[in-house]
Amino acid sequence: MSQPVALRSDAAATPGRIRRRVATGTGATLALAVASVGAGGAAHADEYVVRSGDTVSRIAARTGTSVAAIAGANRLANASRIAIGQRLVIPTGASAAPAPAAPAPAPAAPAPSSRTHPVVSGDTVSGIAARYGTTVAAVVAANGLDSRAFIRVGQQLTIPGAGAPATAAPVSAPVSAPVTIAPVAASHRVVSGDTVSGIAARYRTTVAAVVAANGLDSRAFIRVGQQLTIPGAGAPATAAPVSAPVTIAPVTIAPAAVTHRVVSGDTVSGIAARYGTTVGAVVAANGLDSRALIRVGQQLTIPGRAAAAPTTALVGNTFAGRTYPEAVVASANANKATLLRAGVPSKAEMQAKVVATARAMGVDLALAQAVAFQESGFNQTAVSPANAVGTMQVIPSSGEWASQLVGRHLNLLDPDDNVTAGVAILRQLLRSSPDLPTAIAGYYQGLSSVKRNGMYADTRVYVANVQTHMTRFR
């Protein structure tokens, strides 16, 4: 657990030099050699050696400077890219924030001090942050908390100085240059079911920002266990330069998330209505699957109203006479939006992928193509109200089964993985079914349902269509 940063200055025997030591919660000691400021107000700088788990934003908070100042002093092209063992120049005093010349040197404004808070029963990170006038992101970053912001009774939390105040006092001296405030970065460990759009919504940032911060390709492909850097929401705001005293306009604060403990009888839709948010927002914030399954005692993150603003519906809620739950449809709409935003291969390219994958997995090429054509017309952006995704129209639970069949995690939003999932399921159905029509029916209705109930009327139509398409692809 991170502990408050303690600063101690010991004047050395040689005049004109100060040696600073910064104690961290891990017991490590940073030796910072600082040149004294002369009568002319020259800046001084410290040196910091990057350790495992460090980010530029954490180093900036710990040393009382800014991300922009560290990036400028070290010529960092990307402030999210630093290496363990790298030596960073930490600007302080005049080098950290340029100030206008004054008749006499004035002491630098101290960075907000840190303090500690012992966690008691009923505490939440959002409540603690509000109590001390700081932000959830700052508390999470200062204490190395995970994406759940999990805390326990008795834990000692480091509470960093408050973030940007809602209203700043009028500035009495001219501001010489624009000031850019860099958002705090966090990290997120990818788990099964995560999507970049869902992660971005959970941390109130954008898909583009997450893609850029992690060097993801146009597919925004992620894998289970991957550590993602989560930058602050959107681009940082820049204050306009002024030449006379001004009053800074109030800053709009995004609604803070709250937590809800699930009790017997709770449903996601009921919880969403109670807190004035949407099912889709609750599902995304908590990484729930298409069933929106919750359990008694579970702690849910409830995003603020702004984060819960509904998006234009891209997918309806009914198919083949069935109406699907709101949580399933919300996930379907999120997946549809992600596919449209990321861009996908053409239908001809997807058909070629189906042929190549079927050949590699020993599945009848005509059967694989016929199923893909019947399901989506080789359209990778297709998403149904049941949250069946992509060219092969695979639902998330079937995607997990396909992942087990091939021995690796499959991302249904990825074109190649989507085809692999569908063809792997076809192959398994062919092995488990007494004949071809039953295997085809199993892809549409589910093999256990076919064996238990026989083929439904719409299933028989589906099987006939697929077998007709097979003659086309022979």
pLDDT tens digits along 12-45: 333 333 334 333 433 333 333 333 333 334 445 6
Give the tokens for residue 122.
């009923």
DSSP string, 315-354: S-SEETTEE--HHHHHHHHHHHHHHHHH----HHHHHHHH
pLDDT at 280: 78
Q: Is the pLDDT of residue 227 over 80?
A: yes
**Which residues, 6+ apart, have CB-to-CB distance to 252 below 8 Å?**
none
Alpha-carbon span 472 to 465, nearest angstrom: 11
Alpha-carbon span 447 to 318, nearest angstrom: 23
Q: Is the pLDDT of residue 93 over 70?
A: no
Question: Of 128-132, 193-197, 443-447, which gets the smallest average pLDDT?
Answer: 193-197
DSSP string, 24-61: -TTS-EEEEEEEPP-TT---EEEEEE--TT--HHHHHH
pLDDT at 84: 86
pLDDT at 43: 47
State the pLDDT confidence band at 250, using cuts at 50, 70 and 90. Answer: very low
pLDDT at 76: 81
Which burial class, exposed, middle or buried, applies to 301 when counting CB atoms under 10 A from its CB (0-12, 13-18, 19+)? buried
Alpha-carbon span 151 to 129, nearest angstrom: 13
pLDDT at 252: 41
Same fold, 46-91 and 258-302: yes
pLDDT at 147: 63
pLDDT at 395: 93
Q: Any idea what the Cα angle at residue 192 is, between residues 441 and 292, rounded to 5°?
A: 70
Question: Of 73-77, 416-420, 428-432, which gets the smallest average pLDDT?
Answer: 73-77
- Helix (H) or strand (E) run with residue 157 in it: strand 156-159
DSSP three-state, residue 193:
coil
**Residue, of 28 and 334, whose pLDDT is higher:** 334
Question: Of 61-75, 100-114, 324-338, 405-419, which gets the smallest average pLDDT?
Answer: 100-114
* DSSP assignment letter at 23: E
Chain-wide mean pLDDT for the chain? Answer: 75
Residue 375 annotated as catalytic: yes
Exactly one of 47, 326, 349, 375 is catalytic; which is it? 375
Q: Is the pLDDT of residue 162 over 50?
A: no
Give the fold, CATH level 3, of 258-302: Membrane-bound Lytic Murein Transglycosylase D; Chain A (3.10.350)
Question: Of 75-79, 172-176, 355-359, 398-402, which gets the smallest average pLDDT?
Answer: 172-176
DSSP three-state, residue 22:
strand
Region 52-77 average pLDDT:
82
Question: Of 54-68, 84-98, 433-447, which gets the smallest average pLDDT?
Answer: 84-98
Percentage of the chain beyond pLDDT 70 is 72
Region 236-255 average pLDDT:
40
Question: Of 35-49, 73-87, 181-195, 313-327, which gets the smallest average pLDDT?
Answer: 35-49
Question: Of 182-191, 316-325, 351-360, 448-457, which gets the smallest average pLDDT?
Answer: 182-191
Region 241-246 average pLDDT:
40
Q: What are phi and psi of 228, to 5 degrees?
A: -105, 140
pLDDT at 277: 80
pLDDT at 304: 67
pLDDT at 435: 96
pTM: 0.41
Alpha-carbon span 435 to 441, nearest angstrom: 10
pLDDT at 359: 97
- Which segments of 362-455 does DSSP mark as H helices, in order? 365-376, 396-406, 415-432, 436-445, 447-453
Question: Of 16-30, 126-140, 338-352, 390-404, which gets the smallest average pLDDT?
Answer: 16-30
Closest CA to 466 of 368, 385, 380: 368
State the pLDDT confidence band at 318, using cuts at 50, 70 and 90. Answer: confident
- Domain coordinates of the chain in residue numbers? 46-91, 114-160, 186-230, 258-302, 342-473
pLDDT at 350: 96
pLDDT at 256: 60
User: Side chain identity at 25, as an amino acid letter?
Assistant: G
- Which segments of 215-325 does DSSP mark as H helices, in order? 268-275, 279-286
Q: Is the pLDDT of residue 308 over 90?
A: no
CATH of range 46-91; options 3.90.550.10, 3.40.50.620, 3.10.350.10, 3.40.50.1220? 3.10.350.10
Percentage of the chain beyond pLDDT 90 is 27
Q: Is the pLDDT of residue 434 over 90?
A: yes
pLDDT at 160: 81
Q: What are phi and psi of 88, to 5 degrees?
A: -110, 140
Contact 184, 138 (CB under 8 A): yes
**Residue, of 109 and 428, whose pLDDT is higher:** 428
Alpha-carbon span 413 to 434, nearest angstrom: 32
Question: Of 61-75, 220-234, 392-406, which gets the smallest average pLDDT?
Answer: 220-234
State the pLDDT confidence band at 113, using cuts at 50, 70 and 90. Answer: low
Question: Of 8-17, 277-286, 316-325, 371-380, which gets the smallest average pLDDT?
Answer: 8-17
Alpha-carbon span 31 to 46, nearest angstrom: 9
Give the tokens for residue 316.
């309806």
436-445 vs 365-376: helix crossing angle, rounded to 10: 30
As a CATH number, domain 186-230 is 3.10.350.10
Region 114-134 average pLDDT:
81
**Residue, of 341 and 351, whose pLDDT is higher:** 351
Q: Is the pLDDT of residue 290 over 80?
A: no
As a CATH number, domain 342-473 is 1.10.530.10
Region 322-350 average pLDDT:
89
Hunting for tokens 């159905």 — which residue is that? 429
As a CATH number, domain 114-160 is 3.10.350.10
